Amino acid sequence: MTQPVKRPTHAVTVLAPAKLNLTLDITGVTPDGYHTLDMFMQAVNLYERITVERSRGLTVLLPGSRVRGGPHNTAYQAAVAFFRHTGLLAGAFITIRKAVPVRAGMAGGSADAAGVLVALNELYGARLSREELCDIGAQVGADVPFSILGGTARVQGIGDVLRPAPCCPRCWFAVCMPAMGVSTPQAYALYDQYGARMRPDNEAAAAALAAGDLAGLCAAMGNALQESSPSRENGPICAVLRRHGALAAQMTGSGAAVFGVFDSEHAARAAREELAGSYPQCWVLHPVPVGARVLRRREKRGCNRQQHPV
User: Which pLDDT tens digit goes with each residue over 291-302?
Assistant: 999 998 776 654
Determine the structural domain holding residue 228 and report its residue range.
172-285
CATH number, position 280? 3.30.70.890
Query: Do 135 and 17 have their domain in common?
Result: yes
Do 144 and 241 belong together in one domain? no
Q: How confident is the model at residue 222 (pLDDT cuts 50, 70, 90)?
A: very high
Statement to judge: residues 237 and 145 lie in one domain: no
* Percent of the chain whose pLDDT exceeds 70: 94
* Average pLDDT for the chain: 93
Mean pLDDT of 127-156: 97
Distance of alpha carbon 206 from alpha carbon 15, whole angstroms: 28
User: Does residue 271 share a domain with residue 134?
Assistant: no
pLDDT of residue 306: 45
Predicted local distance difference test score (pLDDT) of residue 300: 61
- CATH number, domain of 59, equals 3.30.230.10
Give the separation between CA 179 and CA 276, rounded to whole angstroms.
12
Could you list the active site residues? 19, 143
Q: Is residue 90 part of a domain?
A: yes
Note whether 32 and 100 are same-domain residues: yes
Question: What is the identity of the amino acid at 291?
Answer: G
pLDDT of residue 105: 97
Cβ-Cβ contacts under 8 Å for 2 (sequence gap 6 or more): none
Same domain flag for 184 and 62: no
- If asked whether residues 109 and 185 sit together in one domain, one would say no
pTM of the model: 0.92
Percent of the chain residues topping a pLDDT of 90: 87
Nearest to 47 by CA among 18, 9, 74: 18
Residue 7's pLDDT band (cuts 50, 70, 90): low
Domain contains 187: yes
Residue ranges in the chain assigned as alpha helix (H): 74-86, 108-123, 130-138, 144-149, 184-194, 202-211, 214-220, 234-243, 265-276
Judge whether 181 lies within some domain: yes
Least Cα distance to 287 among 209, 200, 211, 202 occurs for 209
Same domain, 211 and 294: no
- 164 near 243, Cβ under 8 Å? no
Of 15-19, 48-52, 226-230, the poorest mean pLDDT is in 226-230
Same domain, 131 and 217: no
Q: Among the listed ranges 35-39, 119-123, 276-280, 295-299, which one has the minimum average pLDDT value?
A: 295-299
| Number of domains within the chain | 2
Per-residue pLDDT tens for 63-93? 999 999 999 999 999 999 999 999 999 999 9
For the chain, the residue count is: 310
